[in-house]
Structure 1
Amino acid sequence: MSYSIGQVAGLAGVTVRTLHHYGRIGLLEPQGRTGSGYRQYAERDLDRLRHILFYRELGFPLEEIATILDDPGADTRAHLRRQHELLTGRIGRLHTMIEAIEKEMEADSMGIQLTPQEKFEIFGPNYSEDYETEAEQRWGDSEAWRQSQQRAGKLTKQQWIEIKESTDDLNRRLAEAMTSGAAADSPAAMDLAEEHRRGIEMFYDCSYAMHRGLGDMYVADERFTRTYDEVAPGLAGWLRDAIHANASRHEA
């Protein structure tokens, strides 16, 4: 079966102009022609175009793509293996970036006062200061924000490292409790929720009502949900329920 240039453009989601360009530079030049001289693309041409667009999406220059595809030692299976490896590597890097950003978002809400270099060192190479602006816009007028700025400003770099390690350890124990089958309103879960609240009080006074609100935010804001659910699927909702149960226990 053969396809016209318009049909190929529609199938691949590219413009006819792009296909003409690929033809001019010898990257994709179909051998088929109609009686009127119009290009006709065969199945093998569509396969080549798919590989071109994949490598293009990953940022490869057209010249390098041509070299890769014209390698006589590489068949379709070799290209698929290579593409799988490239995608797997990219996914891993993206997950690392997401984790670093989400940790930074949570830290920003606490009012971290570190130099950019220290933030890169503690939170990873994908640190961005954009989230500090968001945190200030959301909570800048609150007493909690003012307290967090004052208290966080007195912490040293080593103290921040210890806080991060302590937070990671608490998240691990929360996940272990949940996955072991502990109910969110069990004494063990509520004790962990109380430890979570006291950790927040290092930065600002966190009443049980405020803690309830934070728990709700962990579920309502998908960015916080991902932060906890990356530790263990469902952890954000379980922690929210444990926070509510602990608040009810202390407010009774």
Structure 2
Amino acid sequence: MPEVTDVDGLTVGQVSARLGVTVRALHHWDEIGLARPSLRTAAGYRLYTAADLERLHRIVVYREVGLGLDRIGAVLDDASADVPGALRAQKSQVAERIERLKQLSAGLDRMIDAHERGLLLTVEQQAAIFGPEWDPDWPAKARRRYGPTTQWQQYAERSASRTPEEWQAVADTVAALDRALGEAMDAGVTAGSPQAHRLVGRHREVFAAYFPLTRQMQVCLWRMYEDDPGFAAHYDGVRPGLAAWFRRIVDADARAHGIDPDTATWE
């Protein structure tokens, strides 16, 4: 801080330059009675004395350690004020903010990792949760293919905050849906039936663990599932022909809601 001199009669601009605070701040402190210039010229301009400058110096010091203006006023004007106590309380608040910032930093690291890696699980955790057939390279492949999309960003945001236990719950829910689809196919559930529509809706709800899925997107997704050998093999492993069967159900549900499956787009 600039050294305080005994020169009286400093203008607000001169004080601003000496203490490194804005003229606006000085005017505000004057308005609220925290630091008012003691002198006034014949023309009505206010001037700061050496004593005023010393008070401003202390205000700047206390403000830099984070005390609020009300608290600073109490410290300066109340002779019985517990200044060490006020500073200790401020230090405690600073420590809390530091801890919150550390947590924020850790959260940002996870978010960055999730956007870059997709899945914040070790290979061992992935195998334990998703089964031995799971391809641990899938997240990297998916990012290369879908990285620029909104859906990848939504998936990453969910992944960043998800624990292994929560991923296990997602995997269990998906497995339960697969079983329900297989059982419905065995039971002869037909496309367009109320039960079929409920299964299609349930699939969208379950899939929301990754990103929100519209009916049009669902049509496109199951078109891909049926055509992609890996996905088709998974569903046909649940029941032979399940991928094609469920695509027919999804298409029928889309038609029931005014969507032409043949022209559906990813939106």
Q: What range is the shorter-chain TM-score in?
A: 0.5 to 0.7
Larger RCO, structure (CA 8 Å, separation 6 or more) = 1
Residue among 187, 193, 205 paired with 1:180: 187
What does residue 140 of structure 2 align with? 133
Paired letter, 1:200: F
The answer (yes or no) to whether the contact 2:126–2:136 under 8 Å persists in 1 is: no
The answer (yes or no) to whether the contact 2:226–2:243 under 8 Å persists in 1 is: yes
What does residue 201 of structure 2 align with? 194
Deviations 1:18-40 (A, max 9, x none): xxxxxxxxxxxxxxxxxxxxxxx
Quick check: which has more Rg, 1 or 2? 2
Counterpart mapping for 1:144-223 below 5 A: 144-223=151-230
What does residue 226 of structure 1 align with? 233
Residue among 246, 249, 254 paired with 1:239: 246
Gaps of 5+ in 1: 1-109
What does residue 124 of structure 2 align with? 117
Distance 2:216 2:234 in 1: 22
Distance 1:155-1:251 versus aligned 2 partners, 3 A rule: farther
Distance 1:231-1:126 versus aligned 2 partners, 3 A rule: closer
Distance 2:192 2:181 in 1: 13
Paired letter, 1:208: R
Distance 1:187 1:137 in 2: 38
Distance 1:146-1:208 versus aligned 2 partners, 3 A rule: same
Distance 2:256 2:219 in 1: 12
Distance 1:191 1:216 in 2: 19
Give aligned pairs, total: 143
What does residue 68 of structure 2 align with? none
Distance 2:170 2:204 in 1: 14
Distance 1:159 1:177 in 2: 27
Distance 1:246 1:152 in 2: 29
Distance 1:175-1:125 versus aligned 2 partners, 3 A rule: closer
Further displaced range: 171-180 or 241-250: 241-250
What does residue 24 of structure 1 align with? none
Over aligned residues, Cα RMSD in angstroms? 1.9
Distance 1:142 1:226 in 2: 26
Q: Where in structure 1 do 4 or more consecutive aligned residues deviate above 3 Å?
A: 124-128
Distance 2:241 2:134 in 1: 26
The answer (yes or no) to whether the contact 1:215–1:244 under 8 Å persists in 2 is: no
Instruction: State the TM-score, normalized to the length of structure 2.
Output: 0.50
Q: CA deviation at 1:169?
A: 0.9
Instruction: State the TM-score, normalized to the length of structure 1.
Output: 0.53
Distance 1:201 1:142 in 2: 16
